[in-house]
Amino acid sequence: MKAMKKLPLWMGLTGLCFFLSGCEDYLAEKPSSSLAIPSSVRDFQALIDYQARMNEYYPESGDIAADYYYLTETDWGARSDHARDTYVWKADVDSEQDWAVCYEKIFYANVVLEGIDDALLDGLGEPDRQQAKGAALFIRGWTYYHLSQLFVPQYRRDEESSGYGLPLRFTPDINAPTERSTVGDTYRQIEADLKQAAQLLPERAALATRPSKAAAYAALARLYLTMGRYDDALEASDSCLAIQSELMDYNTLDANQANSFAELNPEVIFNAMLSGLSGVHAAARARVDTVLYSSYDEDDLRRYLFFDTRADGSLQFKGSYYGNIHSVFAGLAVDEVYLIKAESLIRTRRREDGVRILDELLARRWQTGTYVARQVATDEQALRMVLEEREKELVFRGGIRWSDLRRLNAAGFLVTTLKRTLGGVDYLLEANDPRYTFLIPSSVIGQNNIVQNLR
């Protein structure tokens, strides 16, 4: 126990600076040799259970740039340079913080993966070793996925050989070379990590703060949807729902609560939180897009459970699955998996089955007795409907809307031009603009021989 009390200090010394300054000058002073180094399975499990790093601080740049909310000019002006520039899609915005916190998670995961096979059991069993290893693989793959949605161009099968993939780290050695992989290699690594995690993890974790087999399948379903591999997305979503499929009936919830949902509610598969360091999405600042709000029917309970009206008539979000109005949920939940399954069925020409899955979800979102099963005549109508419901159900979910904008624009379906207006000036982000891919931080480019993203 004495050693583990020292572990957070060791993690602090080796964490956020990793990759922020490239690799060579990562620490002017190495951690003291007297600090504890993990040696047992219990140590490594404690490292991967470190919630302040593994469950929090998922990247927020895509959500700052997304279209489900807006800021007043006063609130925008009070934010950091990075937040202001990201909000208006400035071409040279430097998302150094998101890069750093993600590679910090990957660093920790690699520490576990490098040492877990030889770690002392110290009273635990081999299943505990496999669970810790599976959790580290999940964290690495899940984090690479989040990075890919910011710093790698939208996946296209005919551009897999493009050299604009992520630097893939497989060792905690800070002096290992830093090179960009291909786009194809990046996505294959994410898939490999998550598939191996699914083999090693228990079906469900004791708490959703830990990765599980269900979480790995849910993450794979999201990955495959992003890649346009709809048969695989369907298979992964089915595998997840075979383990965890409970949907809350929103009729049982109290819309008068300050936050409508408890933390670790029954739909949460893996609990995670958006970084929030910018303060952009705080309930006191982020105002809900009015067009989006008007799309909710009067009998749709999400209209009341997700939103509150401010004194000035604007709307704030109060429906975070993270359990409070100040934190944006960035994890995995059953409702998202239902929507992935519905979309995948429709895209693989099983329209009636896809609409039926959507009905199962929406019947638990509307006031009892008011929901009427959807009727659509064409695959295109069904697809448009499920995508519209996806936007409404998964509003203020970290990473999802930005990823959806990228993939739908690339596919040429529901193409969207984003617009902000501040001080009488209009800012636009056209579909498929290179700014949908953020620049690699200048500090990383400056200290490593890697190519920058296009502008």
Structural domain that includes position 189: 2-19+36-250+330-447
Q: For residues 174 and 107, what is the distance between their CA atoms, to the nearest angstrom?
A: 9
Task: Assess if residue 257 is contained within a domain.
Answer: no
The β-bridge relationship of strands 307-309 and 315-317 is antiparallel
Q: For residues 273 and 253, what is the distance between their CA atoms, to the nearest angstrom?
A: 22
pLDDT tens for residues 135-167?
Answer: 999 999 999 999 999 999 999 999 999 999 999
Q: Is residue 442 classed as helix, strand or coil in its secondary structure?
A: helix
Q: For residues 335 and 3, what is the distance between their CA atoms, to the nearest angstrom?
A: 41
Q: For residues 165 and 64, what is the distance between their CA atoms, to the nearest angstrom?
A: 23
pLDDT tens for residues 262-300?
Answer: 999 999 999 999 999 999 999 999 999 999 999 999 999
Task: Assess if residue 320 is contained within a domain.
Answer: no
Structure tokens given for 123: 């009273």
Which residues lie closer than 8 Å to 305 by C-beta, 6 or more apart?
A: 250, 253, 255, 260, 261, 318, 319
pLDDT tens for residues 37-88?
Answer: 899 999 999 999 999 999 999 999 999 999 999 999 999 999 999 999 999 9
> What mean pLDDT do residues 7-24 have?
35
Buried b / exposed e over 8-40, threshold 16 CB at 10 Å, is bebbeebbbbbbbbbbeebeeeeeeeeebebeb
Would you state the pLDDT for residue 12?
33
Task: Assess if residue 85 is contained within a domain.
Answer: yes
Q: For residues 64 and 86, what is the distance between their CA atoms, to the nearest angstrom?
A: 6
Structurally, the chain folds into a number of domains equal to 1
Q: For residues 189 and 118, what is the distance between their CA atoms, to the nearest angstrom?
A: 24
Task: Assess if residue 79 is contained within a domain.
Answer: yes
For residue 333, give the H/E element and its range: strand 332-333
pLDDT value at 440 more than 80: yes
Would you state the pLDDT for residue 6?
33
Task: Assess if residue 304 is contained within a domain.
Answer: no
pLDDT value at 384 more than 70: yes
Which residues lie closer than 8 Å to 433 by C-beta, 6 or more apart?
A: 89
The answer to whether 318 and 303 are in contact (CB under 8 A) is no
Report DSSP state, residue 273.
B
Task: Assess if residue 298 is contained within a domain.
Answer: no
Q: For residues 247 and 235, what is the distance between their CA atoms, to the nearest angstrom?
A: 19
What single string gives the DSSP state of each residue in 368-426? TTT------SSHHHHHHHHHHHHHHHTTTBTTHHHHHHHHHHHHTSS---EEEEETTEE
> Residue 126: how many CA atoms within 13 Å on its side-chain side?
0
Task: Assess if residue 309 is contained within a domain.
Answer: no
Would you state the pLDDT for residue 37?
82
Would you state the pLDDT for residue 449?
85
Longest distance between any two alpha carbons in the chain, whole Å: 69
Would you state the pLDDT for residue 36?
65
**Neighbour-count burial of 330, counting CB atoms closer than 10 A to its CB (0-12 exposed, 13-18 middle, 19+ buried):** buried
Q: For residues 217 and 269, what is the distance between their CA atoms, to the nearest angstrom?
A: 10
Which residues lie closer than 8 Å to 58 by C-beta, 6 or more apart?
A: 101, 102, 146, 272, 273, 274, 275, 330, 398, 399
> Residue 176: how many CA atoms within 13 Å on its side-chain side?
14
Would you state the pLDDT for residue 358?
99
For residue 213, CA distances in Å to 39, 220, 265, 348, 360 come to: 25, 11, 18, 25, 23
Would you state the pLDDT for residue 215?
99
Q: For residues 73 and 237, what is the distance between their CA atoms, to the nearest angstrom?
A: 41
pLDDT value at 14 more than 80: no
The answer to whether 306 and 319 are in contact (CB under 8 A) is yes
pLDDT value at 329 more than 70: yes
- Looking up residue 69, the CATH number of its domain turns out to be 1.25.40.390
Residues forming a β-bridge with 333: 268
Higher-confidence position of 6 and 114: 114
For residue 183, CA distances in Å to 162, 187, 428 come to: 6, 7, 27
Q: Is residue 195 classed as helix, strand or coil in its secondary structure?
A: helix
Task: Assess if residue 124 is contained within a domain.
Answer: yes
pLDDT tens for residues 200-253?
Answer: 999 999 999 999 999 999 999 999 999 999 999 999 999 999 999 999 999 999
pLDDT tens for residues 177-198?
Answer: 999 999 999 999 999 999 999 9
Q: Considering the chain, what is the average pLDDT of its residues?
A: 93
